[in-house]
Amino acid sequence: MQGTRTSAAHSHCMTLANEIERQLKTGEIALTSYAAEHSDFIRFNEGKVRQSGHVSQANVTLRLIDGQRQAYSTFTLCGDIGADTRAIGETLAALREGLRDATDDPHLLFDTTVWSETTQRTGRLPSPDALPLVVAQCAQGLDFVGFYAGGTIARGFASSSGSRGWYEVENFNFSWSLFDASHRAIKSHYAGDAWSDDVFAQKVEEAAARLPVLSRAPRTLPPGRYRTYFAPAALQELLGTASFSAFSARTQATARNEFYRLNIGEASLDPRVTLTEDLTLGITPRFNDDGYQRQSVPLIEAGRAAARLTNARTAREYGLTPNGATASETPSALSMQAGDLAYDDVLRTLDTGLYIGNLWYVNFSDRMNCRMTGMTRFATFWVEQGRIVAPVDAMRFDDSLYRLLGSELERIGAQPELLLNDWTWGERATGGMKLPGLLVRSFELTL
């Protein structure tokens, strides 16, 4: 179904890029970024469809550069080549007018090499007509609340120097919660580009098997440090919050980086900790809006800082070398090296302590020591002698990643889980993380 549509999107994007270059005047440079999607969205409540829809949209961000001056504008495409060509002409005229009074940008830097990069991957997605039937069957008798988003995501880039980039994938992201009579819940998710009814059914079944535990009297724990296993989704909350700036070259240069002490060699993590901006995962484009091709970047190797994500503006301002990072210098395909703790052995190895499936409201309490605070919530259980015995009431934590990934780290999960970015505000996002679970000797609960 998507094959013809995606081919048309690629063709339309490159036709517009060529038209932009045709309309340029002597000395002008254009950098063009393209974003599009053809997505299905379905919201479920009590295992039934409560809302569904389809979104087809595309937009172009046109960046006009003349010397050291630049201006940009984003406009929506209608899909008609004649109308979109007229929009290009109007946009270029407006940008030229804006450049007349613009001052030089001292940190302007973009790639002028010529390259070509294409990623195009067809997935196996559930039919939006058939999915409600699958959910109804798997969730029979369960209070199932969830949100499905799936379809095609496309990103493109073109520069007037001749570079061309295209990224187009089909994938899905489905998150849901199972509620019991007390309104406690177990949250689950399923994401990827190859849907399987059997895998989905198994995930629902695994979550449902833990529902009876939620009906037991919750365990109230006093503040203190507890032996803890973090499921991949819980670790995602911690690393996701840290990733906003902890791997950024700019925040390191301005001494605002949460891993500042790690980056200058004053601190280290457990030697088993290796984190990479891993472009081989194929979940994000291999090019950025400044025209640079992107490669995998080692961020932490064997517990010690390696490289930092450096975009063009940071590189120009601080005399560094850009490595294809996005403007935010946030990892978009963060991968953590797996360990040796098999999933089936997690509870036995934990023995007595906390099993944390998710964390909420994570933020920093002490940035320079990478200390974080937040709340436990969904699927947090008390485990005794390798058996889940009770849910745990929501509690606040306050602890440092230096501890959790350093002195307190005991085991790393052997099966990393792909956790795609579920952001849909404005458009579906690319990227995500591939993370294992973590077993730590102690995790600090404060109230």
Q: Say what the pLDDT of residue 183 is.
A: 85
379 or 231, which is more confident? Answer: 231
CA 91 to chain CA mean position, Å: 31
Instruction: With cut-offs at 50, 70 and 90, classify the pLDDT of residue 435.
Output: very high
Interaxial angle between packed helices 2-22 and 81-100, expressed in degrees from 0 to 180 and rounded to the nearest 10: 40
Specify whether domain 2-210 bears CATH 3.30.2290.10: yes
Burial of 344 from C-beta contacts in 10 A (0-12 / 13-18 / 19+): exposed
Q: Say what the pLDDT of residue 55 is.
A: 97
Phi, psi at 63, each rounded to 5°: -115, 120
Q: Say what the pLDDT of residue 379 is.
A: 83
Average the pLDDT over 295-321 and give the result: 97
Place of tokens 């404060």: 446
Position 290: which residue type?
D
Instruction: With cut-offs at 50, 70 and 90, classify the pLDDT of residue 7.
Output: low
Report the C-alpha gap between 337 and 343 in whole angstroms: 15
Residues of the chain with CATH 3.30.2290.10: 2-210
**Chain mean pLDDT for the chain:** 95
| Lowest-confidence segment of 3-17, 164-178, 189-203, 397-411 by average pLDDT | 3-17
Position 179: which residue type?
F
Instruction: Kindly state the helix (H) or strand (E) to which residue 293 belongs, with its residue range.
Output: none
The token pair that represents 241 in the structure block: 């919050």
Whether residue 1 has pLDDT greater than 80:
no
Whether residue 2 has pLDDT greater than 70:
no
Report the C-alpha gap between 297 and 294 in whole angstroms: 9
DSSP 309: B
Pair type for strands 48-66 and 28-45 = antiparallel
Angle 75-76-81 from CA coordinates, rounded to 5°: 105
The token pair that represents 148 in the structure block: 């499905």
Closest C-alpha to 248, from 329, 369, 323, 364: 329
Report the C-alpha gap between 138 and 203 in whole angstroms: 10
Whether residue 354 has pLDDT greater than 70:
yes
Average the pLDDT over 395-418 and give the result: 97
Give the side-chain half-sphere CA count within 13 A for 98: 14
Whether residue 5 has pLDDT greater than 50:
no
Instruction: With cut-offs at 50, 70 and 90, classify the pLDDT of residue 3.
Output: very low
Instruction: With cut-offs at 50, 70 and 90, classify the pLDDT of residue 182.
Output: confident
Position 90: which residue type?
E
Pair type for strands 297-301 and 353-356 = unpaired
Angle 225-226-227 from CA coordinates, rounded to 5°: 135
The token pair that represents 441 in the structure block: 């000797």
Average the pLDDT over 304-331 and give the result: 97
Report the C-alpha gap between 331 and 431 in whole angstroms: 9
Whether residue 74 has pLDDT greater than 50:
yes
Report the C-alpha gap between 182 and 48 in whole angstroms: 21
